[in-house]
Amino acid sequence: MTDVTGPGFDDLIVGAGFAGAVLAERLARDAGRRVLLVDRRPHIGGNAYDTYDDAGILIHPYGPHIFHTNSRSVFEYLSQFTAWRPYQHRVLASVDGQLLPIPINLDTVNRLYGLNLCASELDAYFASVAEPVGTARTSEDVVVGRVGRDLYRKFFQGYTRKQWDLDPSELDASVTARVPVRTNRDDRYFTDTHQVMPLHGYTRMFQRMLDHPNISVLLNTDYRDIQELVPWQHMIYTGPVDAFFDHCYGRLPYRSLHFEHQTHATEQFQAVGTVNHPNEYAFTRVSEFKHLTGQRHPQTSVVYEYPRADGDPYYPVPTPENAEQYRCYEALTRTRPDVTFVGRLATYRYYNMDQVVAQALATYHRLHPVGAGAAPEPAAQV
């Protein structure tokens, strides 16, 4: 167990995921502050934690985490703690008995409908099947207004219902707006400037990030159990904001996931990193880790993702009602100058990993502007 005796800590950081680890590293290394990093789980890295399974295959216990960013400052910051391997993620969707590229592109449309369109003709095709929606307010509006009702039903409606337990017509436009539509044959899931994976895994990267004499790490610990026992001056909180305030305005809705991991006695299970199943089965997708990590092994491990309502909070549910409920909690955060709220759960935002890193670096710059250097450019939302 970490030694938490002594004169106390400048900062108590709750949560050892990206937000907490980045701020712990900056506060310790750049500002010279003594930091206690606490997490209720038995490991660092949050949901990005990776480990070797019984077969010796590097897996992501909390589902696949693919790093991509357009932010040079975020990429350069993390590059201090890891070497990288190039990786461009590709996804296929099981639709009408075929495995088709997603995001929807030229090949998706041609193969699905038996057409022979060229790239210059695809926009006109989409315009011919799109439905007029005016201002796109919901996730359904976004898709039917761009590619029409049939592609919406085949690729988006069932997947979204499984993922969120809501029809796309009930969800904010931002959910499906994250997935682009392409008129060329580009089958990469992301188009960011930097598409890479930590060469030796996320956990190794986090270990190097937190390897500093000013950082103490306490795992298997709820911060509430020690916050009155260990002296600290300032708290950085990355957990669910509603839990911090004892759910005084009710529980903020989150979606959770159940992961079913399997190992198969074959070198490759599927052709790409992830296969989506929008219409059949209770799971939404299957991911094969060796595509992501580049590991060579005679066996392979995959994970099936089953969305559910209960369990660890993963995804804030983006509806107008939930946004209004969060604003009540956001107002409460301003009454706690001794606490800084950072990260997806603490700010009830659906952030990618690079966005969380950018938010954490910007938060550090705000807290300690003298030693922080230039603030990072924000990572664009995808």
pTM of structure = 0.92
Lookup: tokens for 216: 């103490």
Radius of gyration of the chain (CA): 22
Give, rounded to a whole angstrom, the gap between the first and last alpha carbons of the chain.
39
Q: Where are the alpha helices (DSSP H) in the chain?
A: 18-25, 72-78, 106-113, 119-129, 139-147, 149-151, 158-164, 174-177, 202-209, 223-226, 241-244, 289-293, 320-333, 353-367
Q: Which two tokens stand for residue 1?
A: 């167990």
Quote the mean pLDDT of the chain.
Answer: 94
Q: What is the pLDDT of residue 134?
A: 86
pLDDT, position 372: 46
Tokens of 165: 């337990």
In this structure, what are the phi and psi dihedrals at residue 60, rounded to the nearest 5 degrees? -110, 105
State how far the alpha carbon of 137 is from the alpha carbons of 177, 254, 347, in Å.
11, 21, 22
pLDDT one-digit tens code per residue, 280-296: 999 999 999 999 999 99
The answer to whether 285 and 276 are in contact (CB under 8 A) is yes
pLDDT digits 0-9 by tens, 23-35: 999 999 999 999 9
Q: Which of 47, 71, 11 is nearest to 345 (CA)?
A: 47
Share of the chain above pLDDT 90, in %: 89
CA-wise closest residue to 297 among 271, 265, 272: 265
The stretches in the chain having pLDDT less than 70 are 1-7, 370-382
Element (H, E) at 287: strand 285-288
Q: Which two tokens stand for residue 128?
A: 């011919």
Q: Look at residue 381 in the predicted model and tell me its pLDDT.
A: 40
pLDDT value of residue 5: 53
Between CA 261 and CA 301 the distance in angstroms is: 7
Locate the domains of the chain by residue range: 91-177
- Residue 282 to residues 157, 163, 245, 276, 287, Cα–Cα distance (Å): 14, 10, 34, 11, 15
Give the three-state DSSP class for 257: strand
The phi-psi region of residue 317 (left if phi > 0; otherwise alpha if psi is between -120 and 50; otherwise beta) is: beta
